[in-house]
Structure 1
């Protein structure tokens, strides 16, 4: 189980870090700010990529270590420590990515050119 979790985290982390993770419903940083645009999604996942990659390595190494341990107690301890470590690293990376996406300004609305820029409804809101 830890090996599979490690592989998934490592793949998502690597693709996020390289900027090749496409916007989707399942993987990566998926906060409202991160999903605003392709740019914010890419930035959030680039920031979260390295911590997620390391979290995958921690989970994978813990999974490999449990294969060679003799007792059930040691397997449970190493597995729990690896799981908590991977979860903590992934959570920290995703928080950093969400903050980076939130720091980017909102994109300009398409179609009317901004407030008072030619759209009748927006002009009436601006007092023109």
Structure 2
């Protein structure tokens, strides 16, 4: 058996298992929002509901891609030119996955954005309002502290996550330079 045929068969079969698991997870709702698997875009990652809906819509296409890969992988074991089936199946499956992922992103975009939880974001140290003087980090925001804009203390979780603007800090730098 030709080595290229074997390689293409193994690649096709491994990808078939991957897309089948992503597709089944999306159909059953067990695919939770993550950074590695499923349809990941700004539209799907903004809420768990958008992620679940986008992946549920794309899941039948993922399963179809897995089926194409399975058939191509099995046919790739067929001889010297079998690699054409394996690599052809990989190409066709990537087209299918791209199309259904695009559809999933468009459907996820229809899900309304979640409301703010208060403060800068729910992921901040305090998660509270701007006038909150103490937070869960055990420190208090000082007047003039850039983190005060965010409703957090000097722990800086919002600033590190890029959630707060640096306008306050830039204004202070300009005032100090005068």
Q: Does TM, normalized by the shorter one, top 0.5?
A: yes
Deviation track 1:57-84 (CA, whole Å, cap 9, x = no partner) reads: 11111101111x122xx22321222111
Shift of residue 103, structure 1, vs aligned partner: 1.6
Match of 2:97 in 1: 90
- Give the root-mean-square deviation of aligned CA atoms: 1.9
Match of 2:79 in 1: 70
2:39–2:101 contact (8 Å) kept in structure 1 = yes
Which residue of 5, 25, 32 maps to 1:15?
Answer: 25
2:47–2:113 contact (8 Å) kept in structure 1 = no
Query: Distance in 1 between the 2:84 and 2:13 partners?
Result: 16
| Structure showing the higher helix proportion among its residues | 1
1:60 aligns with 2:70: yes
Q: Which runs of 5+ in 1 are unaligned?
A: 113-118, 122-128
Residue aligned with 2:45, SS? coil
Q: Which runs of 5+ in 2 are unaligned?
A: 1-10, 120-129, 132-148, 150-178
1:80 aligns with 2:80: no
Which residue of 44, 47, 52 maps to 1:37?
Answer: 47
1:104 aligns with 2:104: no
TM-score w.r.t. the length of structure 1 is: 0.81
TM-score w.r.t. the length of structure 2 is: 0.59
Query: Distance in 2 between the 1:56 and 1:85 partners?
Result: 10
